[in-house]
């Protein structure tokens, strides 16, 4: 039986568009927060794939394809941003972006609170069999990311999201409902150009490590190229997700949402 409000009208949660937005917002937020927390790990892409190391040479710097583990989830965040933008517009993206940023701050606040708790003596050495001599030190290293890194990531995330929305809708005005791949990839190209450089500039140039400009430009460029390759690779998923949402909402409701989102 459908839930009915006191005045006899259907409950707001009976609206499929509302339920869909809640689900998309939850998926967006959990991916964003997880990307921030697992981003402390740097992995070697070539070794992970079992291929010969690729050496890049940019701005007088050399290096291999090493990325934060958070890059595994950021393409999903880009995808969620674009489909929410398509059906729920600027306001929808703004709501989820601010909510995700607040949850990131909330998560790190409790992570630092947990670090400050006095560890039980037996727990400190509980993982020695796994090669971890000091569990407290390991916990602090993993969850206690530097404040410059957290600040840079938050600023870059919000700036990138708001730029993504603006570019997405500018392209949409020119294409209408056609070519979702163009507005999705185009908005990602601009927003992630800003995001990739801003986060590293705040975290590692302004921050205590004081990277030289050549290293900053080289690493930022490699990260940006990776994000764009991932964005292009996910174009089929954008269409698959859009079609699934239209089937769930129904063509009439989906067209109504897209028309509202375009304004």
Two structure tokens written together for 49: 């794939």
Helix (H) or strand (E) holding 247: helix 235-249
In tens, the pLDDT along 224-261 reads 999 899 989 989 999 999 999 999 999 999 999 998 88
Each residue of 47-88: pLDDT tens digit? Answer: 988 888 888 888 888 888 888 888 889 888 988 998 999 999
Q: d(Cα 156, Cα 196) in Å, to the nearest integer?
A: 8
3-state secondary structure of 1: coil
In percent, the amount of the chain with pLDDT more than 70 equals 96
Can you tell me the distance from the alpha carbon of 50 to that of 189, in angstroms, rounded to the nearest whole number?
A: 29
State the pTM of this model: 0.87
Tell me which of 180 and 111 has the higher pLDDT.
111
Segment 6-34, tens digit of pLDDT: 555 667 778 899 999 999 999 999 999 99
Q: How many CB atoms lie within 10 A of CB 104?
A: 20
- Residues 262, 103: contact at Cβ < 8 Å? no
Domains in the chain: ranges and CATH: 12-118+131-257 (1.10.1760)
What does the pLDDT read at residue 145? Answer: 82
- What DSSP string describes 86-100? HHHHHHHHHHHHHHH
So what's the pLDDT on residue 5? 53
| Number of Cβ within a 10 Å radius of residue 210 | 9
Helices (H) and strands (E) in the chain — how many of each? 10, 4
CA 229 to chain centre: 15
Q: Which residues, including other chains, have CB under 8 Å from residue 183's CB and lie 6 or more apart?
A: 82, 167, 168, 171, 172, 175
């Amino acid at each position: 039986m459908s839930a009915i409000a006191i005045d006899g009208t259907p409950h707001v949660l009976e609206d499929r568009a509302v339920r869909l937005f809640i689900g998309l917002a939850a998926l967006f937020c959990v991916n964003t927060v997880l990307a921030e927390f697992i981003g402390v790990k740097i992995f070697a892409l070539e070794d992970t794939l079992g291929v010969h190391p690729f050496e890049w040479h940019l701005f007088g710097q050399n290096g291999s394809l090493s990325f934060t583990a958070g890059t595994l989830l950021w393409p999903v965040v880009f995808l969620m941003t674009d489909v929410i933008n398509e059906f729920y517009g600027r306001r929808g993206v703004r709501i989820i972006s601010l909510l995700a940023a607040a949850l990131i701050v909330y998560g790190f606040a409790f992570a630092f609170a947990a670090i400050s708790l006095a560890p039980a003596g037996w727990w400190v050495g509980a993982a020695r069999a796994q090669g971890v001599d000091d569990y407290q030190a390991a916990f602090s290293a993993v969850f206690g990311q530097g404040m410059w890194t957290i600040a840079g990531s938050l600023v870059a995330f919000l700036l990138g999201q708001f730029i993504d929305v603006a570019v997405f809708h500018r392209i949409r005005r020119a294409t209408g409902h056609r070519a979702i791949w163009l507005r999705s990839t185009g908005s990602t190209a601009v927003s992630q150009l800003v995001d990739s450089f801003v986060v590293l500039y705040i975290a590692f140039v302004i921050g205590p490590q004081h990277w030289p400009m050549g290293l900053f430009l080289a690493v930022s460029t490699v990260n940006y190229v990776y994000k764009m390759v991932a964005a292009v690779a996910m174009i089929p998923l954008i269409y698959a997700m859009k079609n699934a949402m239209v089937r769930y909402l129904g063509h009439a409701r989906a067209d109504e949402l897209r028309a509202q989102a375009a304004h």
